[in-house]
Amino acid sequence: MRGPRGNWVLTVAALALVAGVSAACSSPSSSSSTTTTTTSATTATTSGGSSSSSAPGVSKTQIDVATISSKTGPLAGYFDGISPGMNAYFQMINAKGGINGRKIVITADLDDGGSPTQFTQQVHTAIDQDHVFAVGVASAWFTPNYFVATNTPTYGYNVSSNWETAPNLFAAGGSTQFYSPGVPSLAHVIKATGSKSVAVISYGQSIAASYDACNAFATQLKAAGYNISFVDVSAQLSGAYASDVQRMQQAGSDMLVSCMEGSDDITLARDIQQYGLKIKQVWFNGYDQTLLNQYSSVMQGVYINLNGNVPFEAGTAPKYGNTYPGMKQYLAAMKKYEPAFIYNGVAFQGWQSAALLAQGIQAAGANLTQAAVVNATNKITDFSGGGVSTPVNWTVSHTSFTEPNCTANVQVQGTTFVPVLATGKQVFVCVGPNARNPVPVTPPVGTPGA
């Protein structure tokens, strides 16, 4: 969990593959894998017209952006959504004239092939060869060095602490990785569901995204006075979990918190069902309609923590009406421009990344340089991706986080995910830092639905 929101859970399985992939991946091709996206020749204009700029990747009518992700290779299924998400946002604003007469265009959609060497090559391709203005990244191999050295505005999907500190690195939701802010929110779920005896399970330390989170949850919840009746923070990826279920049963656990990835959560849920264990389940992964369609029989009643992201259902369920126009806008644009990636979690990160770049360009005004965009972005205190997430304060989000922490939860009911635990049309529950007494507080200004 990172700051006001976090997406570590989407990377658990991907990061688990990294050790094996680094030894097994082939050497990169001698030629880089690049595709180019072009727009129509229509010049984007707005009131005042465009200003001159000597910045790389900027012409009178266009701003060039590159994306780097694992489009092929064993990690492709986990990281291939960044470009579609960014492209859909850019296409949407370009259709309205762009920003100050310029359209924002992905001119280089680069593939790292799941290889750290090829990732480094593509970074240099984007910056030194294609001379782009900004870069969007979704890769297990992200390293910040050259992005920082060139002060290139860089956006994307946070899978490591490599995004922290540098002022030009903007991971979706905040560039830090913190788990403590999520403890009071998890405590609220425990109390709201009437749970008394909590079990916690994660992978071992070799999969830090899983281990660090659940180890922190177990340790800090116990310190706050909760009955942590069972802990396994050394579970195996794609393992067998029957013994864990039996031990939970013996311990009298009535709530399970899982930091494993979706397919292993399904295996665990099957064992729970087989042994007749009556236990509530909270997952940090598995918000996937395809997964639910296939395994709805074992997912019934499961709670899934979405942290600071607005659930997709808030943009479609009649109950919410027009309360979440940002989500409606996201769904409509993705359906129009990138329909295969509508419910892709990394595409959702790409959308937010593109929105932040666009807002930074807008805020920089006539002084369109990379440094100006970085400086302007770091003055934004309430970024919500156009209303799809809780606000991110970029004056602190390179090194810290803001409170209260606001979390959305959905529960599996039949074949759908239903937002729960919040009141009225609000999908978020915001709580302060007191895990012992996680009382909901008023959502901060700028919170969608507030």
Residue 446 covered by a domain: no
Whether 56 and 127 map to the same domain: the answer is yes
Query: 352-386 as b/e, with b when 16 or more CB fall inside 10 Å?
Result: bbbbbbbbbbeebeeebbbebbbbbbbebeebbbb
User: pLDDT at position 370, please?
Assistant: 98
Whether 119 and 41 map to the same domain: the answer is yes
Residue 3 covered by a domain: no
User: pLDDT at position 296, please?
Assistant: 97
Residue 397 covered by a domain: no
Residue 104 covered by a domain: yes
Residue 226 covered by a domain: yes
Whether 24 and 76 map to the same domain: the answer is yes
Whether 153 and 199 map to the same domain: the answer is no
Residue 317 covered by a domain: no
Q: What is the pLDDT along the chain (450 residues), one digit of tens a residue?
A: 343 344 444 455 555 555 444 433 333 333 333 333 333 333 333 434 455 678 999 999 999 999 999 999 988 888 999 999 999 999 999 999 999 999 999 999 999 999 999 999 999 999 999 999 999 999 999 999 999 999 999 999 998 889 999 999 999 999 998 888 899 999 999 999 999 999 999 999 988 889 999 999 999 999 999 999 999 999 999 999 999 999 999 999 999 999 999 999 999 999 999 999 999 999 999 999 999 999 999 999 999 999 999 999 999 999 999 999 999 999 999 999 999 999 999 999 999 999 999 999 999 998 899 999 999 999 999 999 999 999 999 999 999 988 899 999 999 999 999 999 999 999 999 999 999 999 999 999 999 998
Residue 297 covered by a domain: yes
Residue 392 covered by a domain: no
State the total domains in the chain.
Answer: 2
Whether 286 and 426 map to the same domain: the answer is yes
Sign of the CA dihedral with 181 first, then 427, 208, and 245 last: positive
User: pLDDT at position 169, please?
Assistant: 98
Domain harbouring 237, CATH code: 3.40.50.2300
User: pLDDT at position 168, please?
Assistant: 98
Spatial separation of the C-alpha atoms in residues 330 and 363, rounded to whole Å = 22
Whether 161 and 298 map to the same domain: the answer is no
Question: How much is the pTM?
Answer: 0.90
Please say whether the beta carbons of 304 and 284 come within 8 A: yes
Sign of the CA dihedral with 65 first, then 344, 259, and 69 last: negative
Whether 297 and 332 map to the same domain: the answer is no
Which of 251, 277, 281, 305 is closest to 419 using CA atoms?
305
User: pLDDT at position 24, please?
Assistant: 38
Helix (H/G/I), strand (E/B), else coil: 289: helix
Domain of residue 201, residue span: 182-307+403-441
